[in-house]
Chains A and B, each alone.
Chain A
Amino acid sequence: MKRALLLMYVILLFLYTTSFEADRFITSTTHNRLKFALNHGGHDAALQIDKGELAEGRIVFRPPAARAAFEAALQFNLQLLGNGTPMEGSLLHSAPLIVFEDYVDDRTPGVVFPYRYVQESRLIDKVLKGPAVVYQVKVKLPRTNALSFNGYIYKTVVYEYPLL
Chain B
Amino acid sequence: MKAALVEMLTVYFLMLLLFQPVLHDIYSTRANAVEMVLDSAIQKASNADNGRFTPEIIDEMHSTLENTFLLDASDIRFNGTTELTPRGQYIEGTLSVKSTPRWLFKNLFGSSGEEPPQISRYAKQMSEALVR
Which residues of A line the B interface, CB within 8 A? 3-4, 6-7, 10-11, 13-14, 17-18, 21-22, 24-25, 28-29, 32-33, 36, 39-40, 43-44, 47, 69, 73, 76-77, 79, 162, 164
Inter-chain CB contacts under 8 Å: number: 77
B125 engages A14 (CB within 8 Å): no
B10 engages A69 (CB within 8 Å): no
Q: Chain A residues with Cβ under 8 A from B42's Cβ?
A: 40
By secondary structure, the A interface counts as helix
Report the stretch among B32-40, B53-61, B64-72, B75-83 that lies at the interface: B32-40
By secondary structure, the B interface counts as helix
Q: Chain A residues with Cβ under 8 A from B36's Cβ?
A: 32
A40 engages B24 (CB within 8 Å): no
A18 engages B124 (CB within 8 Å): no
A47 engages B17 (CB within 8 Å): no
Q: Chain A residues with Cβ under 8 A from B125's Cβ?
A: 40, 43-44, 73, 77
Q: Does B14 make an interface contact (CB < 8 A)?
A: yes
Q: Does B88 make an interface contact (CB < 8 A)?
A: yes
Q: Does B73 make an interface contact (CB < 8 A)?
A: no
Q: A10-B17, A33-B35, A47-B128 are in contact. Are A77 and B122 (CB under 8 A)?
A: yes
A7 engages B13 (CB within 8 Å): yes
